[in-house]
Chains A and B, each alone.
Chain A
Amino acid sequence: MTDASAAPAATSPLITADGKPLKAALGRAQRRARRRALFLVLPLLLFILVSFVLPIGQLLERSMHNDFFSANMPRTVEWFKTHRPGTAPDEAAYAAVALDLQDAAKARTAALAGTRVNYDLPGTRSLFTSTARKARDMQPPYKEALIAADPQWGDPMLWATMRRVSPAYSDDFYLAALDRTRDVHGDIVPMPKDQRIYVMLFERTFLLAAGITFLCFLMGYPVAHLLAVLPLRKSNLLMILVLLPFWTSLLVRTTAWIVLLQREGVVNDILVWLGLIDNNHRLAMIYNQTGTIVAMTHILLPFMILPLYSVMRPIPPTYVRAARSLGATSWTAFRRIYFPQTLPGIGAGSLLVFILAVGYYITPALVGGASGQLISNLIAFHLQNSLNWSLGAALAALLLAAVLVLYWLYDRLVGIDNLKLG
């Protein structure tokens, strides 16, 4: 724009020939195109909303909200609300429990309420179901009646736990996911040593994912470079070899590693045959962390190679040549000229592999044994076996948060616009 046409814009808004504001005219002119574009992406937007945004929202809600107890024991919840923590349960409290259990027995929901208490105090689910059966015939005084039904009703620990689980919304599951709990006074304290598992598993998951990412980088970088510099015919062949794993079922690939690495497997057989190890001391390379690392590195390698390749391909060989002609050894030329230009690819590949590895489930489940389990296996356990969905959701939410933090860190350090996936 020349100075002459820019000058009136500074003093008054531009108008079209018939006197309407230019901005409005522009907006009207583009609205139709915008509406068409929106119409085209609408199916995808709806799909993402239904299959992604809603479930994630539900998961986040589930991790904080659990009304198994509060919905089924309303009188008891009311009593906890009106009495300060630490108050010894009086006859009214016992009456609330007994009447709630009577209702629950009719509605067959005693097990649900018991399940919620059971998360925090193991063994209480059966206490609720068995007492509910007897509650029908209970007469006041309820305190004696309940304690007669099961002496555990006199336990202050049980009452403290019930008080804790009585609100529908709580941070209990997040505390549990971080190996923390609340004591009788409501203070946050670490779990007993023998019950702490999640923090250790988070640490292991992130360490293993970092290790796998590094291994992928180490092995993927030269391959990507080769792909980028080879003549097209040869690089196409190599590209097929890189992509081949994608065309094979994940299960087949993982099973292949079992065949190779197991105690009576191909690798051990060869080592024994070569006399490198004794037949009685075969290496344990699978059903432990080694197995997880080997199999996952193999599976995630293409996710490192492809972004690297897409960044390396357009780097013209003249850069390295220029550096060489300016007096740099080939190592210096690589280190100072080539490598820095591939950083966006390294960032993209590493982020991709790391995020995939952090949430990986099937491979560690198959070849991880006990020491190769990752946090995702525990999430699956809580969703499928223990049915403590809230805890599973809290673990998953923490994992999601960690990945988002990582993404944010990457953006701050490297800049997300430096990310190149292809």
Chain B
Amino acid sequence: MNAAAKGSGFVEFDRVQKSYDGETLVVKDLNLSIGKGEFLTMLGPSGSGKTTCLMMLAGFETATHGEIRLDGQPINMVPPHKRGIGMVFQNYALFPHMTVNENLAFPLEVRGIGKSERESKIKRALDMVQMGAFGNRRPAQLSGGQQQRIALARALVFEPKLVLMDEPLGALDKQLREHMQFEIKHLHESLGITVVYVTHDQGEALTMSDRIAVFNDGRIQQLAPPAELYEEPQNSFVAQFIGENNKLPGTVEAIEKGRVTVRLDTGELIDATPVNVTQAGQRTLVSIRPERIEFRPELLPADAHMIEAEVLEFIYMGDLFRTRLRVAGTEDFVIKNRNTMGQRRLSPGETVKIGWAPQDARALDPM
């Protein structure tokens, strides 16, 4: 399910820049094309420009430079209420002086839709989020999760083609959040709408999205489907931001097709896949996922390099074992092993040899 399959260009950011004070750019040269029916997530730390992009798309901020197009039409000069974009806010923004029904009727009333049609649409929207019995409540009488559903129903009741969500699950507890993630995902699939979703929670982004745009410092660092983003990060920022990663700084020793040998600063040699390196002698940062590291040599390719590691700490996490090691001078090197039958538990003080398949280690730009 990638963008190309769905046809691209329903929403387009074309060389968009944004500055609030005329001195610094919050969004630097943004080019992004979102396909019709796609679920695109903007992921990034706070201050990375993702919310600003969403606000520009909704019409609450104006682009300093560049063009934003919706369904082929430039919308830079279109006021928010004429864009026909549904939006779910972080704190839901349910109107406190109106009942749930009145909240849902609001977008229909301002569109001049008649009473009977209004009622049927409201009923359908409420049923869609399983809140049919709550029409006469006020927002203050609802729990956080229920308010979230109503906010969702309100953004969908006028059948927009595009729905924006600004950290909509941020205020919910973990269990409810995970439940709502699936519900939003299912709604997206059954309604066929385009969703642009902003979050700083990578787990949420990985669970829900067709594609994820990782923002940092006003730029998109990588735009890719979840699996590609997790397994093939294109730079050190993405590698560190998504999931847990072990980082080993070093210098490229030899580079051949699809494989690079890196000499660590402490002298050991390790294997990796070249991503941001092109020639020997370059500085690099090798990143390896904790769950891809192996300390049983029989499971590794025959020619793989292995290095010494001293076990510092063993943490039992239920389904996982998390072991902290001292490797090549760093003390925060972590490996994760599944708690399967026969899995060996390392004990502190023990010394082991660890290694990995070359394709699981990525030689990225030095930070």
Identify the A interface with B (CB < 8 A): 316, 318-319, 321-330, 332-333, 336-337, 340-341
Contact = CB atoms under 8 A, between A and B. Distances in A.
A337 B103 CA distance: 10
Contacts of A337: 95
B81 A325 contact: yes
Residue among B60, B95, B111, B154 with most chain A CB within 10 A: B95
Interface stretch (B84-92, B140-148, B348-356): B84-92
A134 to B, nearest CB: 77
Nearest to A325: B87
B91 A327 contact: no
A322 B81 contact: no
Contacts of B95: 319, 322-323, 337
A325 B86 contact: yes
10 contacts: A321-B58, A325-B83, A325-B87, A326-B106, A326-B110, A326-B154, A327-B82, A328-B110, A336-B106, A341-B96
Given A326-B154, A328-B110, 13 more contacts: A316-B91, A316-B93, A318-B93, A324-B81, A325-B83, A325-B86, A327-B111, A329-B110, A330-B79, A330-B81, A333-B81, A337-B95, A341-B97
Nearest to B90: A318
A327 B96 contact: no
Contact of B85 (A319, A325, A332): A325
Contacts of B82: 327
Contacts of B154: 326
B321 interface: no
A337 B154 CA distance: 15
Closest 9 CB pairs of A and B: A326-B107, A322-B93, A325-B87, A318-B93, A324-B80, A327-B110, A328-B110, A340-B97, A318-B89
Nearest to A340: B97
Given A328-B81, A328-B106, A336-B106, A321 B111 contact: no
Contacts of B295: none
A340 B58 CA distance: 25
B158 A325 contact: no
A316 B80 CA distance: 18
Contacts of A316: 91, 93
Given A316-B91, A341-B97, A323 B85 contact: no
A329 B81 contact: yes
A323 B106 contact: yes
A332 B81 CA distance: 10
Chain B contact residues: over half helix, strand or loop, or mixed? loop
Contacts of B93: 316, 318-319, 321-322
Contacts of A319: 93, 95
Contacts of B59: 324-325
Residue among B84, B87, B164 with most chain A CB within 10 A: B87
Contact of B158 (A322, A324, A327): A327
B171 to A, nearest CB: 13
A327 B60 contact: no
A325 B97 CA distance: 18
Contacts of B85: 325
A338 to B, nearest CB: 10
Nearest to A336: B106
A402 B304 CA distance: 94
B138 to A, nearest CB: 13
Contacts of B164: 325
Interface in B330-348: none
B77 to A, nearest CB: 15
Contacts of A340: 97
A224 B96 CA distance: 21
A326 B164 CA distance: 12
Contacts of B111: 327
Contacts of B106: 323, 326, 328, 336
A321 B166 CA distance: 12
B86 to A, nearest CB: 7
A327 B97 contact: no
A209 to B, nearest CB: 28
A325 B83 CA distance: 8
Contacts of A326: 81, 86-87, 106-107, 110, 154-155, 158
Contacts of A333: 81
Contacts of A336: 106
